[in-house]
Structure 1
């Protein structure tokens, strides 16, 4: 948090612990509840946490705090693969409540003026930052007296409609206890979303004997939360942050009321034990056990290497049997020599290309119609707030995790003949994408070298539920060609933009996907190879975006990805018009010119 003091001195405990009184405006009954609250905390699951439902501050105080923030403070929109949020005032930037001029000398006139307009918030800050409250928190958590220093972070955050925060454990630096005070609309209901979600964890994969870092990779969260806590007005939540244990997230806000909260951390003198297992450290690790993609599989027949630059006719690469196979799936337009040359020229220029209406109607119509039926059956998309984590899960569609890296449904059935969406997609995956004929076709489209193997899966990203996160475990040692065939609601047409404003023209489903407002797009970003440190990246916006590919119905995206590039599928909003169904395959290639 930004603060005029780079290093905050530790204040010795000077308040008698036997006669602890909490400062106003903290509710007068809190200390009387200490034994019950601490007992409930010690027995809570899936990890130890505490919850004061609706009486954290004295009556009437929080209404004033809420109004002061809304009337005086601006919020800045921030978004990454992990979150979508409006960040507001950092209480550390406001001067302390004091008559001592020396205390306020380091603060700007702007901050002094702002503080004068929010007297109730300043009173609350003084109480939250007080020694008395820190002692109280230590007792609540059952941690050693004096564990918490006078370093406190606290800021106002607003999760408006569509905002969210994905699964993480809050472990950064010397953070010790996380806390949240909710200032939501008093009429907030479960259908408005914004729940605090808590996750069970289990031990991660352990590398084989003799391998580097021969320790367990640490606990990982389950794919779905096991407990939710509503953001009730004047309620308070707290927990000790623990690497690989205190996994939590903020559910998307479905309603049109802002989820306003004060969130912060009490710090200790030192970083927590096993900090190498913290979420941010794990996302920046490429050690064994952190990969989520699996091994490459060789083709069943030799693909062959061709000097594409000297190929005049595609018949020199594709046999009659190759063409017969390809034409049973692919739109004939993309199999002509002229189209192949045009696509190759664009790919050589941009290292990426999107091919719309790629699959022929016979196959695509089966996929699209069955996908629409399943979304309706599961009550997903178009702003429906009744999303259930179990939606769509069955003996063929399995949920993929862990939640701090990804959540989506993966098709693991074997059927390729029925008219179900999964079987139809699986048919394209197994019989087209994994074929040597398709690999040869990709050589013609890209001029890349012979693919050595492939790995991939059929996925479904459900509105209001699913995503992937950029992490170092997906970095490759050699270049890859990403081939992703996407199916979503819409016609799959290229959207037009206004020449003057640059805004997307139209309001149909294609335009909504292209806007990026409902997520589901695939984003490529550059990995920071220079720094392996886990800074406060939940607040950072320094990722270098290289490419963003909007979801588009029946569109094949081809992207050349070098070893220093990560990718993610942005969280799919409940306001998306459908699930994102795709076949995502990586081909292990080498290349000289891209």
Structure 2
């Protein structure tokens, strides 16, 4: 019996490609890896672009007698392991529990006839080889997980730096995988700030190939979205652990500029020009406030007057065809979407829009781009669209809207915010009291709501767009009211992505999900422990939508 067991174990014992132990080849690999140089032969490729990484073909040797069956039997065994669907701001895919058990004998062999020998190979052969090749200070700790990526699954840009990870690896087990199937390992270059800049190399998964690289502040990579509806990208991946590299301090993400409210203009009732009349009555505002105070969030469908919403949608769609109006927002480890460019200081101009006429049908428009104010020519139709969108931004930055937001939330965004009588649903102050309060405020400082601000952004969400939660998020630790209105989101489904998700800091539990809905104003109060992200928009979506985003702070 013992002899039969040993013979059976021998049949299942994998080995690494013998060429990896050829001393001359090993020295060349090590020299290139440590120097960040280039090296390539029939089995191994070392490349320094955009950061040092290595690809080993035919990593597990095929013995003549087993005809390459070891990995195929391993795949079958792995498919029987328990897996969990993992989904958050950064990724969506299925992953097993830790497969590399602590003990060297790997415990029970049930459903691990091929997995246990592979784990032993990693410990006894690959780990010493990795120490020699990379010269990294590796301890004995190795992680191993089985990952399955199906249609629309993705792992967005990150650098893998966590705890004591030193060498990241992926052993690909997908057969007949093509570039058109998606799921490539994309490697990013970095800019002068050390942030990911652009994808400069994409590695297509190849059966029985091992890819590894040193985890560092510049090792930004991603698994691109799976495009195939029928194939599953499968792999074993994890990290070799050791003394981590120093991590440099990076500047925090800048916030969009914030402004105080624009003073109300005489004889200009902005709210009645834009907002559905049913939301303007004192009784309705009191009802909204009551619901908001109970849940800290609310959605107000058909918020804008239908004709105004139609014009706004037509205008933003028109502007979307002009690249001059849009910036690609990054870096990729934090966000990826289009943001509209316009003069952030537009309220300082005497005229309603900062333009000058050069021809009857063409106007010169000033648009803010970074710190420079650039001019370009646009048609009258484009100018009309820009003006209307600008007017909409002015609406939400107006004194009237600050006061309205105070009234429907109970928060203090304006010093004259109304207090509603719970029994009658009416404002407690009469006109004379309100006037007296205004006079008093002119002579006081530090009054609640007097220094409230609003920052704003117009965003276009299309396939591949997302935001991620980061340690240095500009929204981290703030108390704010998030106000959003979408355009062009008719028929949008949660499975497309693009929804706003709120979670508690340090937890994966979702507090709130806001699905994009056209002409629906969503209000959500975010305290210092809450974080939000926009879920990656995937291939199931067939169109783009626009989001008018405002953040009010007291």
Task: Provide the TM-score with structure 2 as the length reference.
Answer: 0.73
> How many residues align structurally?
451
Paired position in structure 2 for 1:299: 261
**1:178 shift after superposition:** 0.7
Q: Assess if the C-alpha contact under 8 Å between 2:82 and 2:96 holds in 1.
A: yes
In the superposition, relative to structure 1, how do residues 87 and 424 fare at CA in structure 2: closer, same or farther (>3 Å)?
farther
1:481·1:586 contact (CA, 8 Å) conserved in 2? Answer: yes
Who is 2:338 aligned against? 409
Which of 113, 131, 148 is residue 138 of structure 1 equivalent to? Answer: 131
| Equivalent position of 2:111 in the other structure | 114
**How far apart are residue 297 of structure 1 and its match?**
1.6
In structure 2, relative to structure 1, the CA distance for the partners of 1:246 and 1:163 (3 Å cut) is same
Deviation of the 1:419 alpha carbon: 5.9
Question: CA-atom RMSD, angstroms?
Answer: 3.1
Q: Is the 8 A contact 1:470 1:568 kept in 2?
A: no
The structural deviation recorded for 1:434 is: 1.7
Gaps of 5+ in 1: 1-22, 97-102, 205-218, 283-288, 303-318, 376-391, 491-508, 529-541, 590-594
Structure 2: distance between partners of 1:293 and 1:561: 16
Residue in structure 2 matching 1:447, options 394, 401, 410: 410
Return 5+ residue gaps in structure 2 as ranges.
1-12, 38-47, 63-67, 344-364, 368-379, 415-448
* Distance in 1, Cα, partners of 2:460 & 2:266: 34
1:518 aligned residue (490, 493, 496): 496
**Of 304, 324, 333, which aligns to 1:395?**
324
Q: Where does residue 62 of structure 1 map in the other structure?
A: 71
Contact 2:456/2:548, CA 8 A, preserved across alignment:
yes
* Higher-Rg member (1/2): 2
Instruction: Within 5 Å, give how 1:191-340 maps onto structure 2.
Output: 191-204=180-193, 219-222=194-197, 224-242=198-216, 244-256=217-229, 257-268=231-242, 270-274=243-247, 277=249, 289-301=251-263, 321-323=267-269, 325-340=270-285
1:176 aligns with 2:166: yes
- Which secondary structure does the structure 1 equivalent of 2:541 belong to? coil
- CA distance in 2: counterparts of 1:67 and 1:362, whole angstroms: 59
Matched, 1:190 2:190: no
1:126 paired with 2:120, answer yes
Contact conserved, 1:165 with 1:249, CA < 8 A, in 2? yes
CA distance in 1, matches of 2:179, 2:192: 32
1:88 paired residue among 78, 91, 96: 96
Asked whether the equivalents of residues 312 and 389 of structure 2 are also in contact (C-alpha less than 8 Å), the reply is no
Structure with higher strand content: 2
Give CA-to-partner distance per residue, 1:344-401, whole Å, 9 cap, x none. Answer: 22222222111112223333334545777999xxxxxxxxxxxxxxxx8933211111
Q: Residues 411 and 371 from structure 1, CA distance in 2 versus in 1: closer, same or farther, beyond 3 angstroms?
A: closer
Structure 1 equivalent of residue 522 of structure 2:
557
Q: How far apart, in 2, do the equivalents of 1:421 and 1:349 lie?
A: 41
How far is the alpha carbon of 1:241 from its aligned partner? 0.6
Task: Give the secondary structure class of the aligned counterpart of 1:133.
Answer: helix
